[in-house]
Amino acid sequence: MHSTGSNLAEIPPKPAVGLPLWLLAELTYRCPLQCPYCSNPLDFAAQGKELTTEEWFSVLRQGREMGAAQLGFSGGEPLVRQDLAELIGEARRLGYYTNLITSGIGLTEQKIRAFKDAGLDHIQISFQASDAQVNNMLAGSKKAFDQKLEMARMVKAHGYPMVLNFVTHRHNIDSIDRIIELCVALEADFVELATCQFYGWAQLNRVGLLPTREQLERAERITNEYRARLAAEGKPVKLIFVTPDYYEERPKACMKGWGSMFLTITPDGTALPCHGARQLPVAFPNVRDHSLHHIWYDSFGFNRFRGYEWMPEPCRSCDEKEKDFGGCRCQAFMLTGDASNTDPVCGKSPRHDIILKAREEAGTATAGIGQLTFRNERNSRLFTKKG
């Protein structure tokens, strides 16, 4: 909570700014997999030195003092950090609800036990497909699938709900029935069937990943049929189907509004209002240089798209602006070159034609998995800005 002391340096927050309730700790960009739909920045290999354990402790403490309640550990692959159990333990002591977002690669029973002892509340494991061949091809690893199955079972055996995340796209969405069958066989509790959103590596590979409308509609219909059948059979698997922005007519309220409740800290300590913001031509502060309080309330980057003053038309006079905030700033930037434009997903955007064209391209795309650009250090170096 904010100090009410007399220190003039502590400027009281503007009333319109909410609390950073959701803190995402991207512990590392290192990852044993190479998923071509990863949302990490293309130039991840050139990012600065990772925060130390002590630096993360400080971030967690400051976040909690400012009202953060939910904490996600992600990456890259957060299991790569040798201090993960320590970080979980500190988060628990501070009173966070903690969630580990992992590929399951590098997880062992011993680690699950250590995380449980440290107080971890929740584990989410991501899969690439329902069968070993496609999964391993997408992950860029021969052993990924078996390891994930084993770890998903192990997580459940240790008393956690089984929460699985399948990223779907044109190469696996037609197997949605097999994906759901696998989840049922694993006795999953929650399954997110999330059609790939297009940031980072996914945006780079968009033409090769975006499903067609027919694929998407079929997958949603099958998911609905399974929901009804599973409910009738008394099987409590909760299926969450996420459609991609590219088939919507109104944009999503990305992050529930810029700088309204979501705070990401990247591996080198750069603070962002969302996972995609690093690519924007906006200066973002670093926790090594500034307090989290300053970053959240006073930094230029976090105030850049707060409120409604920054909006151009058609958002400015739109009666839905308080619902969707003009959509996603990163998507507006990626697709139009200007982050303050209306998200082209919106049917009212003067650049909605970009989305219509992408849908058309999806209908005619023929690229196979082998033609996707995989997320790895070698490819990342090709995107490193010179100078």
Query: Between residues 64 and 275, which has the closer beta carbon with respect to ligand FES?
Result: 275
Q: Is 335 in the site for ligand FES (CB under 6 A)?
A: no
Q: Exposure of 305 by Cβ count < 10 A (0-12 exposed, 13-18 middle, 19+ buried)?
A: buried
**Least separation, in Å, of the C-beta of 276 and ligand FES?**
3
Question: How far is residue 26's CA from residue 23's CA, in Å, rounded to a whole number?
Answer: 10
DSSP run (H or E) holding 292: helix 292-298
CB of 330 vs ligand FES, minimal distance in Å: 3
Q: Which is nearer to ligand FES, 152 or 254 (CB)?
A: 254
254 is in an annotated binding site: no
Q: Which of 71, 160, 153 is nearest to 115 (CA)?
A: 160
> What DSSP line would sit under 81-123, residue for residue?
-TTHHHHHHHHHHHT-EEEEEE-STT--HHHHHHHHHHT--EE
Q: Which is nearer to ligand FES, 66 or 274 (CB)?
A: 274
Q: Give Cα 327 distance to the centre of its chain.
A: 16
Q: CB–CB of 172/164 below 8 Å?
A: no
CB of 114 to ligand FES, least distance (A): 33
Does residue 329 touch ligand FES according to CB under 6 A?
Answer: yes
Strand, coil or helix: 232: helix
Query: In terms of CB distance, is 85 or 282 closer to ligand FES?
Result: 282
Distance between CA atoms of residues 257 and 261, nearest Å: 8
Applying CB under 6 A, does 304 fall inside the site for ligand FES? no
Nearer of residues 57 and 333 to ligand FES, judged by Cβ: 333
Least gap, CB of 79 to ligand FES (angstroms): 25
Q: Is 274 in the site for ligand FES (CB under 6 A)?
A: yes
Applying CB under 6 A, the span of 8-16, 81-89, 178-186, 275-283 interacting with ligand FES comes to 275-283
According to the binding rule CB under 6 A, does residue 254 interact with ligand FES? yes
330 appears as a binding residue in the annotation: no
Q: What angle do CA 43, 47, 49 make, to 5 degrees?
A: 160
What φ, ψ does residue 279 adopt, rounded to 5°? -75, -15
User: How many residues at the interface with ligand FES, by CB under 6 A?
Assistant: 9
The answer on whether 318 is annotated among ligand-binding residues is no
- Residue from 59, 330, 346, 355 touching ligand FES (CB under 6 A): that is 330
Q: Is 186 in the site for ligand FES (CB under 6 A)?
A: no
Q: Which residues, at least 6 apart from 154, have a Cβ–Cβ distance to it below 8 Å?
A: 107, 109, 112
Q: Which span (85-93, 273-281, 315-323, 365-373) binds ligand FES, by CB under 6 A? A: 273-281
| Cβ-contact 166, 193 below 8 angstroms | yes
Which listed range, 126-134, 238-246, 314-322, 323-331, lies at the site for ligand FES (CB under 6 A)?
A: 323-331
Binding residues for ligand FES, rule: CB under 6 A, are 254-255, 274-277, 328-330
